[in-house]
Amino acid sequence: MEKRLIAVCVPTYRRPAMLADCIAHVSKATVPDGCALCVVIVDNAPEGTGEAVFEKATNDCPFPILYFQETTRGFASVRNRLVEEALKLKAHFVAFVDDDEFPSPDWLVLHLRALKASGAHVAHGPVIQIPLGESPGAREKQRLSQARSTGSIKHHVSAGNVVFDTKLIALWGLRFDAFFNRVTGEDHDFFERAKNLGALRVWVREAVVYESLMPERRTWGYLLARHYTGGVNNVLKFSHRHSLLQTWLHFLVRILGKLIHLVGSVLMLRPRNVVKDAATVGGYLAALPRCGRRS
């Protein structure tokens, strides 16, 4: 009987050391029964910083590994190149993992088992952040124990830890929207459109992927910038699918909610939440007038 091919797809951009670690962990993945694996890397750096990693991995990785460069900048273009290459390979499933992440060895087995048991088209699981260079410990296990249980419904599907049936791209013709090359959220948009077409999803808590958290991402400055940019991007993403009036009403309500939460965080002496809420509101207020001018 023909084995079902899983294309493990890794987008990368100027993080060769992290990419090498990611591929090393993917190489240790347990192959689900009746399946075969291949690894597809698409590099968005024009100088091809991931090529040396690929060349070394061809000798070390037990699975076939392919490397491509995508010249159009942006996550949507890179992910579209990955799914196109997966289709050329006649893959039955696509698995996404980012270059700053590393999956647990039974990651694919658990996802495939959940897809078969549930009849779903999409299986996704948690991404647990750990400091760069460290191994998962008690703190990460505690975070995982607090995550929603397997089989529950999660509003958004992220591409950092997901496996999906290639029916979505081969038969339904879904692709990542190039609009999201300018902002984040191409994965949420893709899987939301898949859901609207009838795709079923299943959450698998035990299928864990870990994200390496770089030191600069643990600073107050990064936290502020991240949530400000997130606020801006949320407005732009929402306005891409909704009218100007809907966008303003939606975010005025959200701003009010964030301000109420911010006051509560001040009273309860939670500075991290104060920074998050203030930065997000700032992003909303910066983007809403821009949205109005675009219309």
Would the CA dihedral through 77, 41, 98, 51 be positive or negative? negative
The pTM for the full model equals 0.88
Residue 294: per-residue pLDDT: 47
Chunked into runs of 10 residues, the chain (295 residues) has average pLDDT values of 93 96 96 97 96 94 97 96 98 97 96 96 93 73 72 84 97 96 91 95 95 82 88 89 92 95 92 92 90 55
Residue 64: per-residue pLDDT: 97
Least Cα distance to 50 among 23, 26, 84, 77 occurs for 23
Residue 73: per-residue pLDDT: 95
Residue 204 to residue 207: CA distance in whole angstroms: 6
